[in-house]
Amino acid sequence: MGQGRKGSSDKKQREKNRDDSPTPENGNKCRVCRFPLLVALLQLLLGVAVTAVAFLMLAISPSLTARETPHWAGIILCLVSIVGFFLYCITYQPDERSSTQFIVKLLYFILCTTGLVISLLVVAFAGHHHSQASSFSCQQKGNDCVCVLEKSDPIARTFDYKGVSDCEMITGTLIFYFLLQILLNLAQALVCAAGAFIMWKDRYQVFFAGTQIRSPSTQQWQKV
């Protein structure tokens, strides 16, 4: 009986000690709420910019493929930013006692990592198409613009851009849009990497304080 009472008393004391543990200075918000809010805002703005540029590219010619007009990447990254805004609105709980907080943090980390991969993929596609379009030799044929990589090669691959009234749209404007996509998605990749790093650091590095000892006399917690 004595051991049972002692075990129950020890359990209650541990729970009391945990409840009395120090709370962050901004107890009602995530400890890094300001920076993730900035990250989510940048993700939203860059995602909208990537989507807008992609639709401008698609307006040049409907013959452009999904790899050449990465509106899908911008839309995905806008969704990632929404999760970041939701994370900002969650009340912070020390030691991630809230399952909602843990799930949203994990989801945001995964989405930021996915956004990083997607952005780098778009950069690779845009870089390839930019290099390719810079070597085009184009000729106007009716309402279409027909381009080849090697004009002297009779069996060279031909690119037929339908609905283009001026080949300058391909050799000038489209190349500029490819370059713009490279810059925007490179910036987006850096922002997503920052978001993933913040979530990792929040969980595993910065806020780990070591073993905490509660002094019975002072009723204060000490970090060791």
* Per-position pLDDT tens, the chain of length 224: 444 454 555 555 555 555 544 444 444 444 444 557 888 899 999 999 999 999 999 888 888 888 889 999 999 999 998 988 887 776 555 555 667 777 888 888 899 999 999 999 999 999 999 988 888 888 888 888 888 887 766 666 788 888 888 888 888 889 999 999 999 999 999 999 988 888 877 655 543 333 444 444 444 444 43
Q: Is residue 15 part of a domain?
A: no
Bridge partners, 146 (sequence order): 139, 160
Instruction: Say what angle helices 175-204 and 99-133 make with each other, to 10 degrees.
Output: 150
Q: What is the number of structural domains in the chain? A: 1
Q: Decide: helix, strand or coil at residue 145.
A: strand
Q: Is residue 16 part of a domain?
A: no
Q: Determine how many CB atoms are found less than 10 A away from the CB of residue 202.
A: 18
Q: Is residue 220 part of a domain?
A: no
Distances (CA, A) of 97 to 12, 19, 40, 100, 168: 18, 11, 24, 9, 59
Q: Is residue 84 part of a domain?
A: yes
Residues spanned by the domain of 92:
33-135+167-205
Q: Is residue 181 part of a domain?
A: yes
Q: Is residue 45 part of a domain?
A: yes
Residue type, 170: I
